[in-house]
Structure 1
Amino acid sequence: MVKQGEARNARRESSRVVGESLGSEGDSAAAAARRSRRRRAEMAAEGKTRVVVVGGGIAGSLLAKTMQPHADVVLLDPKDYLEIPWAELRSMVEPSFAERSLIYHRDYLTNATIVTSSAVNITEQAVLTADGQSLAYDYLVIATGHALTSPGSRSERIKEFQRDKGKIESSESVLIIGGGPTGVELAGEIAVDYPEKKVTLVHRGSRLLEFIGDKASKRCLDWLTSKKVDVLFQQSIDLDSLSNTEKLYRTSAGETVTADCHFVCIGKPLSSSWLHDTILKESLDNKGRLMVEKDLRIKGYNNIFAIGDITDIPEIKQGYLAHKHALLVAKNLRLLIKGSPNSKLETYSPGFALALISLGRNEGLAQLPFLTLGGCLPGKIKSRDLFIGRTRKQMGLNA
């Protein structure tokens, strides 16, 4: 177990941080690094507590933003931007949408250090990065979520969306593999924006959106069917056989699907394999999730927290819940920095399972504790702006 006092003493041995991303675009990396070192030296002189956040997704970014007035915050992320994930599918048919949903870390972290790299190890005093840095901490927060497949630069991510749109526009037929929220929402976006295209969705389960109730699943299927989307249940596609040139796809049931292009929309693995050789290896459950206490500290540690999808909290992994994790841990960190006892820390309790699925630009599906709604009302809540304006305001930016 890491004692808080030991970590505080160990943090004094800070390493030089290079390749940090601060300042306006066009500034040299060397100038940005010099500014960063000066700021960190000033923080150290003031006795500021060091908080290292590993992972710049929606949970880690909000935590870092919230804590920057109260601590010497370092955000470690292999990307130079935050991606609002629930806008991804709209951006595939409307790449300009990504101009608001892809946010440079530097735009909201105006008083923190950004290290563009990946974590490869954790000791009781520091996080070690892929590019050889050692980031000392008093408090550490793991927010790595699921395995990253996006490019490291915001500009390259926008180009990916442009390529996706081009692929859809040049195709007469599209195959979507996976009937979870990603596959369903992508099918909805394509069916609404390109009603002339043939869309087929293949799902290995017996119903769509299996994390919600039967009634909501049936409503979703009825909506897709009304948009002429073919849905094949209890079938799968061999992912190893996929290619960008193949136009005939054979399912596990022997059916043949013809499509000019395909999109794989199945769940990504958790980004926790890198923890297997760290001090947190015994804190992982058999699914690769970090086991946390009710105050979201990792079991067995006083100064290491976990938030977002990587936790073992028994709840549906959704963005608004990751935000709740981040805000709770930010409050607990402020209490600990002030010297409050553990008994004063806030605790987290999973709430009712809520789901809000976008179905194209104007309709949606909502599952509430005692009610399922479909149509324009859920669409008005989510589908038109996909909460982008609200999320940007939460990050201190213009909507």
Structure 2
Amino acid sequence: MLSSSAAMTGVGRYERRRVVVVGGGVAGALLAKTIQFYADVVLIDPKEYFEIPWANLRSKVEPSVAEKTIINHFDYLVNGKIITSSAINVTETEVVTAEGRKVVYEHLVIATGHATNTPRCRRDRLEQFQEENTKIKNSGSILIIGGGPTGVELAAEIAVDYPEKKVTLVHSGPRLLEFIGQRAANKTLHWLKSKNVEVLLDQSVDIDSISEADRVFKTSTGETITADCYFYCVDRPLSSSWLQNSVLKDCLDENGRLMVDEHLRVKGQKNIFAIGDITDVPEIKQGFFAQRHAMVVAKNLKLLINGPKESTLAKYKPATTMAMVSLGRKDAVAQLPFMTMIGFLPGFIKSKDLFVHRTRQQMGLDRCRPSSILTPSSI
């Protein structure tokens, strides 16, 4: 007899196969949650939790936000296994973890995104946000290195919540937010200056030569900046180096991204998919699109488990140029296919709640049950 959960999801129609998901970020977590009643799901992630990434910067100025945005994997993965470890290799049938454990798969999804140095457990991550908030509160002047979405959003959060503090943003490029259009960048620069944020373009800061105790920072042009603390907000490297000696080494492009087909399968592979920032899908790398990847692959896995013809697989259509960057609690800049806008309207859409409530609902957190977390020594 089917369990009540299986009966509700119709899982009895499917042969339960092992699906291994490597990476528990916003894409991998959503995928694992979505297919957990259709397959024997194993999630491999070095952290015990996933974060709602577009709310991280708000958590630095308001640490209580992190209580809802840092979510233990077992809170949503109620019918799967969690291995708290890093993957270091892939064979045609197994994923190898850092401890040498071999996890057999029938279908594999790689969702490792960008490399991070975040703590292993949720409690330590919450404490990290508290420490960063204390650093902001205790500083009269703050340097932000990097003018991409992370640096811009952090500068905006600090400028809005702590208008008395001197904020300086240094960016190595000729304009802010180089991943979107010039008009959006110009509007953002004007907004930051209106909040008394000093923006220095075409300059960089060598972090290897930084002595934070001296509170003096030199840019590549020789300009001197005095600041009580700094935040390094440049792009993190892709977490794909572990694939360079694997069976997927020839599937990586020159930028280290996994090449995928229209179904988000790794090119040349029948049972391996990739989702999120690690893919070579030609679109802006944002969490919302990574979630779309997850839902397409979830549908395709369900179809493959049921054994349909290849022609029935869902296709992913790369998104048109669209992006939204928060500017504090009320404003945002939005680049849409046919217009660019800044201020309260896009801010009302994103900045007030940062899609936290919607994301939590999407993860089904109101219907949680205990799940098993497996450390490398227990499986």
- Deviations along 1:255-303, one digit per CA (max 9) or x if unpaired, are 0011000000000000000101111111111110001111011011100
State the shift of 1:372 in Å.
1.1
2:124: which partner in 1? 156
1:313–1:104 CA distance, 2 compared to 1 (3 A): same
Q: Distance in 2 between matches of 1:364 and 1:47?
A: 46
Moved over 4 A (4+): none
State the shift of 1:124 in Å.
1.0
- Deviations along 1:18-75, one digit per CA (max 9) or x if unpaired, are xxxxxxxxxxxxxxxxxxxxxxxxx9xx952000000000000000000101000000
Paired residues for 1:77-226 under 5 Å? 77-226=45-194
- Deviations along 1:204-237, one digit per CA (max 9) or x if unpaired, are 1111101111111111011100000000010000
2:223: which partner in 1? 255
State the shift of 1:149 in Å.
1.3
Q: Distance in 2 between matches of 1:219 and 1:383?
A: 17
TM-score (norm 1): 0.87
Letter in 2 for 1:83: E
TM-score (norm 2): 0.92
- SS at 1:245 equivalent: helix
- Check the 8 A contact 1:389/1:398 in 2, yes or no: no
Give the total of aligned pairs: 355
1:384: which partner in 2? 352
2:37: which partner in 1? 69
The answer to whether 1:54 aligns with 2:29 is no
State the shift of 1:351 in Å.
2.0
State the shift of 1:398 in Å.
4.2
2:374: which partner in 1? none
- Check the 8 A contact 1:174/1:197 in 2, yes or no: yes
State the shift of 1:178 in Å.
0.4
- Check the 8 A contact 2:289/2:319 in 1, yes or no: no
Q: Distance in 2 between matches of 1:357 and 1:277?
A: 37
- Counterpart selection for 2:280 from 280, 288, 312: 312
Q: Greater shift after overlay, 110-119 or 234-243?
A: 234-243
- Counterpart selection for 1:370 from 338, 347, 354: 338
- Check the 8 A contact 1:95/1:162 in 2, yes or no: yes
Q: Distance in 2 between matches of 1:47 and 1:63?
A: 18
Q: Distance in 1 between matches of 2:261 and 2:347?
A: 36
Q: Distance in 1 between matches of 2:366 and 2:333?
A: 28
- Deviations along 1:167-192, one digit per CA (max 9) or x if unpaired, are 01111000000000000000000000
Paired residues for 1:30-49 under 5 Å? 48-49=16-17
Letter in 1 for 2:308: S
1:340: which partner in 2? 308
State the shift of 1:132 in Å.
2.6
State the shift of 1:242 in Å.
2.0
- SS at 1:333 equivalent: helix
Higher relative contact order (CA 8 A, sep 6+): 2
- Deviations along 1:310-356, one digit per CA (max 9) or x if unpaired, are 00111100111000100000000111111111111111111211111
Structure 1: state its 5+ residue gaps.
1-42
1:394: which partner in 2? 362
1:322: which partner in 2? 290
Q: Distance in 2 between matches of 1:123 and 1:93?
A: 43
- Check the 8 A contact 2:16/2:305 in 1, yes or no: no
The answer to whether 1:274 aligns with 2:242 is yes
- SS at 1:277 equivalent: coil
Q: Distance in 2 between matches of 1:367 and 1:271?
A: 28
- SS at 2:100 equivalent: coil
State the shift of 1:105 in Å.
0.2
1:284: which partner in 2? 252
- Check the 8 A contact 1:178/1:264 in 2, yes or no: yes
- Check the 8 A contact 2:142/2:227 in 1, yes or no: yes
